[in-house]
Amino acid sequence: MAYYNGSAVDMAAVRSALVTACTSEGWSWNGSTEVLSKGTLFVRLQVVSGYLALLGRTSASSGDAPNAVRMGQLRNTPVTYPLAYHLFVFETEVFMVINYSVDYYQFCAFGLSSTAGLAGTGMWIAATLSHTDATHGVDISPVSGGAGGLNCVAPAPFWGAEAPSPSTASRNCWLHSDIDGQGWLLAQSLTTAPVGIKAAVPLIGLLPNSWNSEAVLLPIRVWKQRASSKISLTGELQHARYTRVDNYEPGQVISIGPDRWKIFPFYRRDTVNRNGGGVIDHSGTLGWAIRYEGP
């Protein structure tokens, strides 16, 4: 569909860029309710205390996700301006990546799951942060993420795989599958651990390959915990993939067959501590690729 980039002087300008790009690609914007919509997809976009908060909904005014997801200050690193943004708007998926303070990145994204069998709207939404402050920074690794719940965040879509602690609902990603009548839940309750990245173990940890030094692009799948120790696939992002950024520069465009992909670290690349960790200010070499249809 379309790729946009530019710079923004504050979070309101970030929101404005997002709204402008989306409305140019068929989305509708209601300025009074601050709801961006397309078909069954509804997301309320608000700038609150310097954060851009995105709240997924099943209608224009109801069916809210358990909490908003956000971009903004993470731990004690504020977002600085002007920042650069990259916007990728597809038919049913939108991705926005911001870049500030040279090598810091955050994202927000939302879209529609194409996985068959969902009872809900299939809307998914994700961003770097949950609705609470990540005062203890980042917790991410090739096998898990999001330990510490409220205070640590796995700044990647559908990566977090730990129960929130303290036990209060706080997630930076949701998908409205409504499987088992559980609406937006990824697990059996708000306070239990979702599957997250654990379903991709060990693949993301193998990369980049020793045999060709390249990092494969892995699908970003969303899972729903079910009763009796079962899980169901509820989503697979169409235009984004997990990868490792050891050998890719942030913003680099790579070609695989006819497709081009723009590579970003999830938060901040650290090739020394490449497997991330807990209570950190980087995301190792864990990153992602977004389908790129720009120049």
Binding site for another protein (CB under 8 A): 115-119, 177, 179, 195, 198-203, 206-207, 209-212, 214, 216, 223-226, 229-234
CB of 82 to another protein, least distance (A): 38
Amino acid sitting at position 142: P
**Between residues 84 and 231, which has the closer beta carbon with respect to another protein?**
231
CB of 198 to another protein, least distance (A): 5
Q: Which is nearer to another protein, 136 or 198 (CB)?
A: 198
Closest CB to another protein among residues 55, 197:
197
Closest CA to 94 of 18, 33, 177: 18
Phi-psi label, residue 199: left if phi above 0, alpha if psi -120 to 50, beta otherwise: alpha
Classify each residue of 211-247 as buried b or exposed e, where b means 16 or more C-beta atoms within 10 Å of its C-beta.
eeebbbbbebbbbbbeeeeeebbbbebbbbbbbbbbe
At closest approach, how far in Å is the CB of 288 from another protein? 16
Nearest-Å Rg of the Cα atoms of the chain is 17
Rounded to a whole number of angstroms, the minimum distance from the CB of residue 11 to another protein is 36
What is the Cα–Cα distance from 72 to 98, expressed in whole angstroms? 10
Q: Which residue has the tokens 């068929």?
A: 26
CB of residue 117 to another protein, shortest distance in Å: 3
Q: Cβ(149)–Cβ(170) under 8 Å?
A: yes
- Give the residue with the Cβ less far from another protein, 31 or 202: 202
Residue type, 34: E
When the beta carbons of 120 and 137 are compared against another protein, the nearer one is: 120
